[in-house]
Amino acid sequence: MSAGHRVVGIVGGSGIYDPGLFTPTATHQVSTPWGPPSAAIQEGRVGAVRVFFLPRHGPGHAIPAHRVNYRANVDALVQLGVDTILSVSSVGSLREELKPGEFVLPNQFVDFTKLRPTTFYDGGKTYHISMADPFCPQVLSQAAAAGKSVGAPFHERKAYVCVEGPRFSTRAESRFFRGFADIIGMTLVPEITLARERALCYGLLAMVTDYDVWAEHPVDAHEIVRVMQANVAQMQGVLGALLPRLDAPRSCDCSHVLDTAGV
């Protein structure tokens, strides 16, 4: 547990290309050992909370999910002092009750990516990070409360399956994924594992934009964009309610995950 103000990094996904929450007071061009992050990082404040905003896919969604430099993005935010990452992204629904336009707070994930670097530790020092409970419980609790406060409640305790992309699923894959997950997306991994390796708190605010193809209707990228645009203001309202709630002492163990992970 630690006192002091949080420093929050918001990683905006599809449909969230600017913070919409604050007037930027600075723009940071950060270099990392893994190359440049997706874009320049904007800094501002929401109440007492310092906030840094990074569009995951770069300006104009130029970088597809499988080509995002996740290591550079996380490392750049850490260099700026971030201790908490809020990811905002669109997802497909694998459950009839999770409807397009609704919000989900996953607490578990399954990784079906194939080609992405997944760790900062490629040699030298090795860490085996526990991912049993990968999301910060304090952030999840605060996000759920924030959603309810603005009339945008989250579906909680759901599992996210992360696929490589950029293509969408086949019908057979979609039916298969329904056996163990509730929502599907392309960007959670390795972002969440890298945040864990840096002992950060991490939470995902997911916006359902479509039913995946299990529902017998092929996914339409144009329809996804339409649903995202219709719900961006509501998601920004959730963020506006959540960020002040994060200005509290950390009561989680996220900052100690490396204590017993080294070999």
**What does the DSSP assignment read for 8-41?**
EEEEE-TT--S--SS--SEEE----TT---SS-E
Helix residue ranges, H only, 80-220: 137-149, 171-177, 191-197
Euclidean distance between CA atoms 128 and 258, whole angstroms: 9
**Residues with catalytic roles:** 210, 212
Q: Is 85 exposed, middle or buried (0-12, 13-18, 19+ CB in 10 A)?
A: buried
| Rounded distance between C-alpha atoms, residue 122 and residue 119, angstroms | 7
Beta bridge partners of 52: 9, 43
